Structure 1
Amino acid sequence: MLRFAIAGWRAVLLLLLVGTATANAAESFIIDEIEVEGLQRLEEGTVLSYLPLVVGDELNQQTAQQSIRSVYDSGLFSDVRLLREGGTLIVRVEERPQIVSFSIEGNDKIGGDELMESMRSLGLSEGEVFRQALLDQVSLELRRQYFANGFYDVDIDTVVDELPNNRVSLKIDVVEGESATIKSINIIGNEVFDDDTLRDELKLQETDWMPFQQSDRYSKQQLGGDLESLSSYYQDRGYLRFTIEDVQVQLTPDKRDIYITVTVDEGEVYSVEGIRFTGETVLNQAFLNALVSTRAGETFSRKKATESADRIEAALANVGFAFAEVQPVPEPVDGKDRAITINYAIDPKKRAYVRQIHFRGNAGTNDETLRRELRQLEAAPFSQTAVERSRVRINRLAFIEQTEVETQRVPGTDDLVDVIFTVRERPPGSVQVGVGFSGADGFLISGSVTHANFLGTGNRVAVNLENNEFSRQLNLSWTDPYFTEDGISQTISGFFRRSDRIIRFSSGFSSNILGGDLTYGLPISEFSTLRAGIGVSETSIETFAGQTSDEVLNFVNENGKRFTAFQLRTGISRDTRNRTIFVTRGNLLRLNADIVVPGSDLRYFSTSLTTQHHIPIYAGFLAQINTSLGYVDTYGNANTVPPYENFFAGGTRTVRGYRDGTLGPRDTPFDNPFGGKLRTTSQTELIIPLPFEADGQSTRFSLFFDIGSVFAEPGDFEFNELRQSAGIAFRWFTPFLGILNLSYGFPLNDEQGDETDRFQINFGTGF
């Protein structure tokens, strides 16, 4: 074998360039063949793929240096040499070891799964090539993170176990030690606000007597956030030139206590002389003025100025300027000390148009089913309001659990965006056979087949069968939410109900009802819908000697026991809620009016008004107010409302703490609840966020106050007769039983004869 050698200074230069890799070449030559030596795990083709030489090329000083550097820079080899044997170029390599395993132990406070994922992305994982420099870098970075979080006594040891066949096992052992705690936070230079007031603005706090205190654990990142909060506190109160001049963080020799000293310069209070808008304003002056919350003569507030700029950006985004930037710039006023003009510098950028709208995660839903909910259209100017409304509409679908949206700029353009909706679907269909319980109906056995997204079309098909101690019923329904392209919905339903439930409340009689409905929903605005439909039913009732009340017997004597009713259904609703279950914001107003039309055996009508108001308070606390008003009466020559159409109150849906259906008028001679023509109820709840659930989509805990009752005639209404209760409630959206309702109510003004029931529970489908 004839070894090439590069004489003198050339050899020295090459060694300086490529480290331990060497190339010996006495003279240039044409490569007839290339061989690779030293491989253990890698294929020869891997080396050749990095080598910038092929058979027929000339090997000289320059190409040798380039070749060694290229192969070495692959990171796969710790040493690379070029040798010659005749016309054959020999590439001799030494492979870096392969990582068999990598683990970090003892890092309870820093890292976890996210740290391991980060290590894998850097190349420290099973099957990767080992590089000592990378392991050292990771160890230093881990130590830096511990220091930044107050763990100055941390000990980090890296262990490299060499294994046969050029393999290694890596392990980082961490002994975290105790976190240093904040002994003192001292603020220097403050004269307007005292130390305690300013320290209250900080999340980092001095160690106190509270057990399990976490706010005294030092974190460099949190200190940065606290300093920003301190600046905001001053600048929101007019101290425009407030500065933090120095920050000292001192660690005691035993590495257990930290002393923080912040030196500030408060400056002077500035007032707003006026506002102006510069740049390409786009929007008219009057509209821009309405978006600004700081007025002339007020003390400057950075928070108000920033919020005003955000509102202007949002307004511009709604008319297509998706990338608009608005910067509030305080400008001194000539000739006046401590007076500024706020200049809102507006840069709308180019008007953006939506190129495409994509959906992700809708494995069981047709694209068109989601697309018809959109208020932002393709090829139209981008509108932030339209995009957000589209997200809410998709999120309100019964088969969608969560919807997220993002806007992406189209690469290579400055005026096109793509809008991407990512959905998480609920199971749209279910076949259930189960047991439920209601305070009104007792235990029930139910079976149902429901599909809220039939064949991905958004159509809802439902078959429900229930059997309990007091009733049996079968319901069939089909709902097409887009019966027409304009969004008119159609619901076709049929039902059979046999009920003995009135026996529980009052005066023994049973009823059998067979009927069907055809109902349409006609959207008249983004949030409002008209309801129109017809229904037909055949009803028969049965009385029992010695058990039926006088009121029921009088009705039967006047009208008989079998009735055919043709019903006209109307209504209007306005719904701005962000969800249909466990709502967090928005309101619902629904007014329905149904009438049994002439030509029927009976003549009566019923009206109902339902409202829901959801008022966010603070930090997840929510006020919810539900009210309902119902009224039923006869018209024409009819005198008596059918007893099965009376309103009842009491129980989880109306006034908790009182037994289901027991409030209001009583029958004769049994003195049992009989219901009445007028019902009015209100439920007010303070919903308290639970620490174990961030989004509040499956559980709810609340304090409640309920009030309401039923009256035989509207003229009988007296406020003093309304029953009141207060208590606590818990709701859980269970996977199999539907919504579980638990409540414990305390009647506040119950009277003799009232039937109270403090603990109440409802669960199962059909409630």
Structure 2
Amino acid sequence: MLLAGQAFAFSAFTIKEIRARGLERLDIGTVLTYLPLSVGDELNDTTSRQAIRALYQTGLFQDVQLERDGDALVIAVKERPAITTFKIEGNDKIGGDELKKSLKDLGMADGELFKRELLDQVEQELRRQYYANGYYDVAIDTKVKDESNNRVSVNIKVTEGKVTKIKDINVIGNKAFKTKDLLAQFKLERTHWIPFQKTDRYSKQQLGGDLEALQSYYQDRGYLKFDVRSVQVALTPDKESIYVTINVDEGSVYKVKGHKFSGEIILNETFLNVLLSTPDGSTFSRKEATESANRIEAALSDIGYAFAKVTPIPDVDEEKKLITINYYVEPGKRAYVRRITFAGHGTTNDETLRREMRQLEASPFSKSAVERSRVRLTRLPFIEEAEVDTKPVAGSDDLVDIAFRIKERAPGSVQFGVGFSGSQGFLINGSLTHTNFLGTGDRVELALDHNAISKSVNLSLTNPYFTADGISQTVGLSYRNSKSVIRNASGFNSNVMAANLTYGIPLSEFAALRLGASVEQTAITTFANTPRELAEFVEENGTVFTNVQLRTGISRDTRNRTFFANYGSLNQFDVDVSVPGSDLLYYTMSYRGQAYQPLFWKFLLEANASLGFVDSFGKTKIVPPYENFFAGGSRTVRGYRDGELGPKDEFLNPFGGKFRTTAQMNMIIPMPIESDGKSTRLALFYDIGNVFAERQDFAINELRYTAGINFQWFTPFLGLLDLSYAFPLNEKQGDRIERFQINFGTGF
């Protein structure tokens, strides 16, 4: 009889027959498949060891022996048992379905062969993961039960126990900074009074991340040689608490002596110096050095060096504690874009997307042009999201492909519904809108609206690329029958028919010029209760007017999205003026500003401002009352009834004024139900503004201030739902307060 690794105990012989003993589930053919011997071969010391090794390596057997019966080779084996059932229970905190899948890949699953050594490894790994996540009181009970027909059932029962919490974290050896300032860099915290605290749960991985943050904190403040000498983690006897002690060596503060560039610089050194934020004489900061290197990489990528690498190498003068930063530049080969592709864009024409590209095929690669192309795609009304990937072309070191993956939103909608607006009351509306007509990116809209004060029909067609240079064209026709300007005013009806033609002319990547004209016919009807102010206008100008207006304006828009943006700004200035020969001569000037500023964590500051001024000229002495500005409500000063701030008529109804100024500050609060902020927003706000009869009537003490909370939700059925609750801070007698305001639907 032979065992693996033992000397051959009988004389060598030529095999005349091969038999097997001990097989249960396997047949002799399976054994012979793995056996490196056959009839006619000689069995000796070498071939016997090879045979035993080959059979063990199959993993099918837990014992293999070779025996001789005359000239026959007898293979005596003991098969590994099969696992009938494998269960792991109680592991709520570690693993779950992902753990079960990995165990199955290892062979710990129903129907697999049982290997005791593998089961021991699984138990040790489970215990290690629980310890790493702070569960030091975990108990793991493994049971292997023999079943019939050489089978076993395996059951692992985990009793997790309570998570071990951090009783205290202490830093030893720090002199330059207070311990509380250092611990503020940690995500782990000691247990305190806040309910449902999770930051006090010890995790080895998180402690490692916190130590890296501590090192960065020091190195960003000049302590280049900072070192964590040791970390002691002490577990209390009851395994419920942990004490963490960190011993540090701060080292000395290093200053920047100077900097230099090496490698293949490519760019002019004068230009490179502008990109640096590590001036001579400043305290060394690894963060600033890294960011300087990143800016140089970005500058190189904008002229085609897609895979440029810049490494800041500190050259240290230990005696004087000075550092010369050597920015080592490895530009690589200049890369050109071979192909730009789009995926996920459905029925949208390829050209509709391609015309938004600022990165062109066969041109040098530019990182900023690629990113701007992605942002332009996301600004399209029928695109929800766009991702981009730069891929090197196989077999080439100077070609890349740019792949955009598009996620579309529904480009068209047919709606019939109801809504509510503070200024217009309940709304009934129907609309047919398509923002990507026939895949061309053209916008076609037909809207019918009926509310408490008006009925209207609007038809418009916008071609965003009327010319190949990106000049847009909008043609519009409309009819509106109104009882008044806002819901709470009274005394006249109006019928307005209008046609307009407007062009948008791009001046740069972010700026555009608006040029257009409109023809409008207005007829008003007065009643016995018509206010004196309107009666004077009718007496001077009549009741039917035909006006031709020239419209112009300029705007600069750097927002990343047109709706629910989170960075960038908008500045828009418009002027509309009646041309000579019109029945009424007046002009309107307006400014709209919007800006976004990220704050700490995911908080965001949104600032909105608006100015408006209207006045008559020439033969027209009174501005048409329906062209006045109004203030109050969700778009101007929340907490006051829509349109009811400012001048009143003789019946104390809002009459509006020539000059309006408003500002809204919103601090947007991150919501746990949505991380990207694309469909919901919660904000604390502060509003200020009013409207004045004349521009010279403006007075700071007449501005109204409010503060409150606002919630917006882009609902699937009601459109934008806007809720706000405001606290007026300086209301005066006669002001009409409306603390809670709601708007929903598409009609406002």
**TM-score for the superposition, normalised by structure 1:** 0.85
Instruction: Tell me which amino acid in the other structure corresponds to 1:255.
Output: K
Secondary structure in structure 2 of the residue aligned to 1:657: coil
Query: Which position in structure 2 is the counterpart of 1:634?
Result: 616
- Residue 431 in 1 paired to residue 414 in 2? yes
Cross-structure match for 1:266: 250
User: Are 1:712 and 2:693 matched, yes or no?
Assistant: yes
Structure 2 letter corresponding to 1:626: N
1:560-639, aligned counterparts within 5 Å?
560-639=542-621
Deviation at 1:679, TM superposition (A): 1.7
Q: CA deviation at 1:129?
A: 7.8
Q: Secondary structure at the match of 2:485?
A: helix
2:478 to 495, 498, 510: 495
CA distance in 2, matches of 1:155, 1:536: 83
Q: Is the 8 A contact 2:484 2:494 kept in 1?
A: no
2:283 equivalent among 299, 304, 313: 299
After superposition, the Cα gap between the structure-2 partners of 1:526 and 1:268, relative to the gap in structure 1 and judged at 3 Å, is: same
SS of corresponding position for 1:479: strand
Aligned to 1:445: 428
Partner of 1:739: 720
| 1:70-89 equivalence runs, <5 A | none
| 1:558 paired to 2:576 | no
Verify the 8 A CA contact 2:484 2:490 in the aligned structure 1. no
Q: Equivalent residue for 1:749?
A: 730
SS of 2:626 mapped into structure 1: helix
Q: 1:522 to 1:194 in 2, by over 3 A?
A: closer
Instruction: Please list every run of 5 or more consecutive structure 2 residues that lacks an aligned counterpart in the other structure.
Output: 18-22, 67-74
Q: In the alignment, is the contact (CA less than 8 A) between 1:190 and 1:264 conserved in 2?
A: yes
Contact 2:587 / 2:615 at 8 angstroms: preserved in 1?
A: yes
Asked whether the equivalents of residues 424 and 486 of structure 2 are also in contact (C-alpha less than 8 Å), the reply is no
Deviation at 1:121, TM superposition (A): 5.9
* Residue range with higher mean Cα deviation, 72-81 or 600-609: 72-81
Q: How does 1:383-402 map to 2 (within 5 A)?
A: 383-402=366-385
The range that moved more, 94-103 or 460-469, is 94-103
1:200 to 1:706, Cα distance in 2 relative to 1, 3 A: closer
Task: Report the identity percentage.
Answer: 58
Change (3 A) 1:272 1:164: same
Deviation at 1:491, TM superposition (A): 1.9
Residues 14 and 623 of structure 1, relative CA distance in 2, 3 Å threshold: same
Shift of 1:228: 1.4
Displacement after TM superposition at 1:201 (Å): 3.0
Alignment match, 2:129: 145
Quote how far apart the aligned CAs of 1:443 are: 1.1
Counterpart in 1 of 2:225? 241
Q: Which residue of 1 aligns with 2:387?
A: 404
**Conservation of the 8 A alpha-carbon contact between 1:502 and 1:509:** no
Moved more, 712-721 or 322-331: 712-721
Deviates more, 1:275-284 or 1:594-603: 594-603
Aligned residues of 2:384 and 2:409 also touching (Cα < 8 A): yes
**Aligned residue number for residue 32 of structure 1:** none
**Structure 1 residues 463, 105: closer, same or farther in 2, change over 3 A?**
farther
Shift in alpha-carbon separation, 1:209–1:365, aligned structure 2, 3 A: same
Corresponding residue number in structure 2 for 1:725: 706
* Alignment RMSD: 3.9
Query: Helix, strand or coil: the match of 1:362?
Result: coil
| Aligned-residue offset at 1:180 | 1.8
Moved more, 450-459 or 580-589: 450-459
Query: Among 320, 329, 335, which residue is 1:346 paired with?
Result: 329
Q: Is 2:462 aligned against 1:505? A: no
Q: Measured at CA, do residues 141 and 420 of structure 1 come closer, stay the same or move farther in structure 2, by a change above 3 Å?
A: farther
Alignment-mate amino acid for residue 419 of structure 1: I
Match of 1:514 in 2: 497
1:469 maps onto 2:447 in alignment: no
1:88 is aligned to none
Cα distance change, pair 38–420 in 1 and its aligned pair in 2 (3 A): farther
Flag the 1:430–1:504 CA change in 2: closer, same or farther, 3 A: closer
**How big is the shift at 1:125?**
6.7
Which of 181, 185, 190 pairs up with 1:201? 185
1:503-522 deviations in Å (ceiling 9; x for gaps): 73333111112222222211
Structure 1: runs of 5 or more not aligned: 1-7, 17-23, 30-36, 83-90
Q: Tell me if the contact between 2:145 and 2:154 (Cα under 8 Å) persists in the aligned partners.
A: yes
Matched, 1:421 2:396: no
Instruction: State the secondary structure of the residue aligned to 1:307.
Output: helix
Contact (CA 8 Å) 1:273, 1:333: kept in 2 or not?
Answer: no
CA distance in 2, matches of 1:576, 1:507: 41
Aligned length: 734
Q: SS state of the match for residue 351, structure 2?
A: helix
Residue 3 of structure 2 contacts residue 64 of structure 2 at CA under 8 Å; is this kept in 1? no
- CA pair 516-190 structure 1, distance change in 2 beyond 3 A: same
Distance in 1, matches of 2:343 and 2:80, equals 42
Quote the Cα distance in structure 2 between the aligned partners of 1:301 and 1:540: 70
1:177, 1:365 → 2: CA distance? 56
Q: Which letter does structure 1 place at the counterpart of 2:285?
A: S
2:529 corresponds to: 547
Bigger shift: 60-69 or 729-738?
60-69
* Alignment deviations for residues 352-399 of structure 1 (CA, whole Å, 9 cap, x no partner): 222322323323433332222121222222221112111111111112
| Distance 1:679-1:194 versus aligned 2 partners, 3 A rule | closer
Residues of 1 paired with 2:83 and 2:620: CA distance? 90
**Do 1:679 and 1:711's aligned partners in 2 also have CA atoms closer than 8 Å?**
yes
